[in-house]
Amino acid sequence: MSPTAVLHSEWIKIKSLRGSIGSLAAVFLTTVAVTVLVFATVGRAEADNADAEPLFDAFYALNFGQLAAIGFGATAVSSEYVNGALRVSLSAVPRRGLFYRSKIAVVGGAALAVGLLTSFTAFLGGQAFLGQHAIGLGHTGAVSACVGGGIYLALMALLAAGLAALLRSGVAVLSVLIPFNLIVPFVIGDVAGGAAQFLPDRAGQQILREDPTGVLGGWAGLGVMALWAAAAVGAGWWAVRRRDA
């Protein structure tokens, strides 16, 4: 079968579902909206604080955008598990490896493109409100933070996509990943500082810091997050390959 044709087909599936195309757009819209809201109101006051981290703080809104990225990855895959839609998809593309690879590539590619756009827009847009406190792309680590922020969003979407294939349900993915990202780091955060820094979101966000905390550097942290995403995508592949459709 033609891999290009299958990729194209997967893209049509994503853009023709309001749930998946909507959550992809929400990655950008949420992040930018929260950035504008926060920076236009308390931006300067926060930047004036002694413990301000100008680079890391610029990506504050990514915490919200990542929820949309999780939603995107989850719906893009879980839509195949509504009422046996997967049977129709697999009768068109019976090579499950090709089917799954194409879906993951489209989810990852779309999330990366939107993620990079989001991350650069949020960084530059937020700084526009800071006047004398503003930093530019010339600031140490700013470009790698912007690129890393885009990759971070894409990896979040892939983590969700892999889990959706394993759990066959978008709701199940959200109820695993959202608490995992929002609650677990706070609960075990400073108690077990050693382990928490290897959680996907903590590790991935090291790239956004000018001075990474803990043992993981910026790219190493993103690498750890990529391992989490790879594990989820791998588990999803196992499920797609082994299970009856």
Q: CB neighbours of 82 closer than 8 A, spacing ≥ 6?
A: none
Among 36, 38, 85, 239, binds another protein (CB under 8 A): 85
Question: What's the CA gap between 166 and 100, in Å, rounded?
Answer: 12
Nearer to another protein by Cβ, of 168 and 202: the residue is 168
Least separation, in Å, of the C-beta of 137 and another protein? 39
Stretch that binds another protein, among 31-39, 89-97, 183-191, 195-203 (CB under 8 A): 89-97
Q: Which stretch binds another protein (CB under 8 A): 13-21, 61-69, 117-125, 155-163?
A: 13-21
- The CA-based dihedral angle spanning residues 91, 96, 100, 101, taken in that order and rounded to the nearest 10 degrees: -120
Which lies closer to another protein via its Cβ, residue 78 or residue 197? Answer: 78
Q: Per rule CB under 8 A, is residue 2 in the interface with another protein?
A: yes
Residue (36 or 85) nearer to another protein, CB: 85
> How many residues bind another protein, per CB under 8 A?
35
Q: Which of 49, 51, 83, 191 binds another protein (CB under 8 A)?
A: 83
Nearest approach in angstroms of CB 76 to another protein is: 12
Copy the structure tokens of residue 155. Answer: 């990896």
Tell me which of 37, 41, 87, 140 binds another protein, using CB under 8 A: 87
Lay out the site mask for another protein across 102-141 (x = CB under 8 A, - = otherwise): ----------------------------------------
Q: What is the DSSP string of the chain?
A: --HHHHHHHHHHHHHT-HHHHHHHHHHHHHHHHHHHHHHHHTHHHHHTSTT--HHHHHTTTHHHHHHHHHHHHHHHHHGGGSTTHHHHHHHHS--HHHHHHHHHHHHHHHHHHHHHHHHHHHHHHHHTT-GGG---TTSTTHHHHHHHHHHHHHHHHHHHHHHHHHH--HHHHHHHHHHHHHTHHHHHTTTTHHHHTTSHHHHHGGGG-SS--SS--HHHHHHHHHHHHHHHHHHHHHHHHHS--
Tell me how crowded residue 98 is: count the other CB atoms within 10 A of its CB: 15
Q: Does 179 bind another protein (CB under 8 A)?
A: no
Among 92, 128, 187, 215, binds another protein (CB under 8 A): 92
Residue number, 8 or 140, with CB nearest to another protein: 8
Binders of another protein among residues 14 to 53 (CB under 8 A) are 16-19
Q: How far is the CB of 244 from another protein (least distance, A)?
A: 4
Q: What residues line the site for another protein (CB under 8 A)?
A: 1-2, 5-6, 8-10, 12-13, 16-19, 78-79, 81-85, 87-88, 90-95, 168-172, 244-245
